[in-house]
Amino acid sequence: MSSTEFVPLSAAQQSVWYAQQLAPETPIQLAQYIEIEGPLDHGLFDRVARIAAHEALAMNVRLVERNGIAYQILDPEATATVPLVDLSAEPDPRAAARARVRARMAEPLPLDADHLYVTELLRLAPGLHWWFIRAHHTIQDAYSGSIVARRAAEVYTVLATGGEYVPAELGDYRRVLAEEEAHRSSEKFERDRAYWTERFADRPVAVSLSDGTAEPTADYLTRVAMIPPDEAAGLAAGRAGCAPRRRASRSPRPPPTSPG
């Protein structure tokens, strides 16, 4: 696909697009960091990280809007380099790294950004790095993010040990879009919609403890408590004893599609 081909968003991508339009200051993105122990060649790492991103075509798209409609364009230049951020001189490198990660996670990635998949390498010590990755949710989910990270590790290992890089394709999102379009224009889609619409037509309004919906936010609260080893062992034993009974009482799932 050339950089001038405008490809529509999938239904899932559109929902994220509209959500971001409604809350432009809220980061709607996936983020993770991977701790890497041992010697690391930053130049080689930068190369393999970009290789893995290029092999996953969705990591190389830009989003554009034309006449109120969002499109995606494959752009080989949309994959950014991996800058090295040296935090090893900080009094507490781990605390500094965590603070940097949280600050970046709180920054929204604009829909019209040149790079919707951005990474950086944080050096905590000569033999300790964090690879920090974040991507807008329109182009990545947690599963695809793990695939790209694993591929980068695989290519790094091959090249660092004198092997030869063999190109691979981590998935072409254009095939996903084609399959979705074929499904949504099929008779089966209409039958499914009619079936589920009728099945849940008389469902009551969901019960809630709130009288409204909170505004989206990037902040979150975390509380950590350590369980003593003897109590943890007791919980594990109790869980093992409940497992068979839990499976036996599981409610059956509704049929995945309409009858017939």
Beta bridge partners of 73: 62
Backbone angles phi, psi at 185, to 5 degrees: -100, 10
Angle at CA of residue 22, ends 139 and 147, nearest 5°: 15
Dihedral sign for Cα atoms in the order 44, 49, 55, 60: negative
Query: Under a CB-based contact definition with an 8 Å cutoff, are residues 254 and 189 in contact?
Result: no
> Looking at residue 2, what is its pLDDT?
45
Q: Calculate helix-pair angle for 42-55, 142-160, nearest 10 degrees.
A: 130
CA distances from 122 to 8, 83, 162, 215, 252 (A): 36, 9, 25, 32, 47
Query: How far is the C-alpha of 235 from the C-alpha of 230, rounded, in Å?
Result: 9
> Looking at residue 248, what is its pLDDT?
41
Query: How far is the C-alpha of 81 from the C-alpha of 77, rounded, in Å?
Result: 10
| Domain edges within the chain | 7-177
In tens, the pLDDT along 186-233 reads: 999 999 999 999 999 888 888 887 777 777 776 667 778 888 888 888
pLDDT(243) > 80: no
The CATH T-level fold of domain 7-177 is Chloramphenicol Acetyltransferase (3.30.559)
Query: Under a CB-based contact definition with an 8 Å cutoff, are residues 64 and 112 in contact?
Result: yes
Among 27-36, 45-54, 218-227, the least confident range: 218-227
User: pTM of the full predicted structure?
Assistant: 0.75
